[in-house]
Every structure is written in structure tokens, then in C-alpha cells.
Amino acid sequence: MNVPTRLTVLRIVLSPVFFVVWFFPLWTGKGFFLSAVLLIVLFIVQEVTDVLDGAIARKQGLVTDLGKVLDPFADVMSRMTFFICFTGTGFMPLWIFTLLIYRELAMTFLRLLMIRQGVALAASIWGKLKAVVYNIAGIAGVAIVALSRFGVPGDVVDILKKVALYIFLLAAFSSMASFATYAVRALRLSTPSNGD
């Protein structure tokens, strides 16, 4: 397992850790301040490793078909974990999360179809743009809970929640738009098959 793949796997492993750290204070009534610090650290580590794994793979010629599939999976795992936490805490609307998860499931299905044809559907510029919006949405959500757990006045947190809602709406739109571009590309790359 090369270094980029290890970084990708680390993102996958840290996703359930983020979930537990997020909800631990709500389950126990303890550790609010510490959890906020840990959430910031976990978020930064996951986002930095997302950048590093691709950069290292390209620079050292370690781009593999496994990496092309595993990296998007790690992205989905980490970011959907963030969004599950936001929705479970009540400041991301359930319908937005539903759109996001449906899009990711559809993308997974599309990638599997393409792999069956021997094509690894790598990330596109539109997918990367969607990832940037997801990242901003993640920052907004983590900031909301961190500031709340640090004891920042509720008025400030409420304003941030309103801003975050617009970012979540943009995330929903960008996810649908990027899926459309992947679907079109998949159709172009598809080859006639005698199978079902």
C-alpha cells in the first residue's frame, strides 16, 4: 500500500471517529469544549489528507485505478459523515442531506457500471468544484458546533446558521450539477455490451 492510499484509508478510518466525537457530548453531557477542539483537528486532518493523497500520487507517479476509486469513496465517507452530524444536530435540513446522499449513491452505482466496462471514472473539474463547496459547507458546520461548544453567544451562532443554510443549498445544487456532467461523460465512454 503506497503513501497516497494510506492517506486515503486514514480518511475513511477517521470518519466514524468524527461521528463519535461529534455526538459524545450530546450522549453523555460531558466534554463539550474538548470535543470542539478535536472536531476541528479531525476536520483539518481529513481535508489536508484529501489534498495530499492526490498531490503525492500525481507527483510520484503513483496514480492507480484503485486510488481513482478509493479516493472518491473516502471523500463520500468523510463528507457524508459531516453532513449526517449536521442533520442530526438540526442545522442542515433533512431534504438537503437526502439529495446529497442520493447523489453520492448514484455516483457509486455509476462508477461501478463504468468499472464493469474497464473504465475508472476519475474526478472531473465539476466534481472538484462540488468538493470545494462541500468543504466550505463542512467548515461552516464545524464552525457552528465549535463556536456553540466554546460558549460563543447564541446570536453569533444563529447568524452563522443562516449563512450555512445558503452554503448547504449551494452544495445541493453543485452536487446535482456535477452528477449530470459525470452521467454525460459516462454515456460517452460507454461501449456496446452483449451483457445485460
Could you give the C-alpha distances from 38 to 11, 31, 51, in angstroms and in order? Answer: 15, 10, 20
Residue 67's pLDDT is 73
Residue 30's Cβ-count burial label (10 Å; 0-12, 13-18, 19+) is exposed
Single-letter code of the amino acid located at 155: D
Q: What is the pLDDT along the chain (196 residues), one digit of tens a residue?
A: 788 888 889 999 999 999 999 999 999 999 999 999 999 999 999 999 988 887 887 787 777 767 777 887 888 899 999 999 999 999 999 999 999 999 989 988 887 888 777 776 666 777 788 889 999 999 999 999 999 999 998 899 999 999 999 999 999 999 999 899 888 888 887 755 544 4
Q: CB neighbours (10 Å) of residue 109?
A: 10
CATH class of 3-189: mainly alpha
- Contacts of 142-149 with CB under 8 Å at 24 or more apart are 142/39, 142/40, 142/43, 142/82, 144/86, 144/91, 145/22, 145/36, 145/39, 145/85, 145/89, 146/36, 146/39, 146/40, 149/25, 149/32, 149/33, 149/35, 149/36
Domain coordinates in residue numbering, the chain: 3-189
pTM > 0.75: yes
The secondary element (H helix, E strand) that includes residue 28 is: helix 3-28
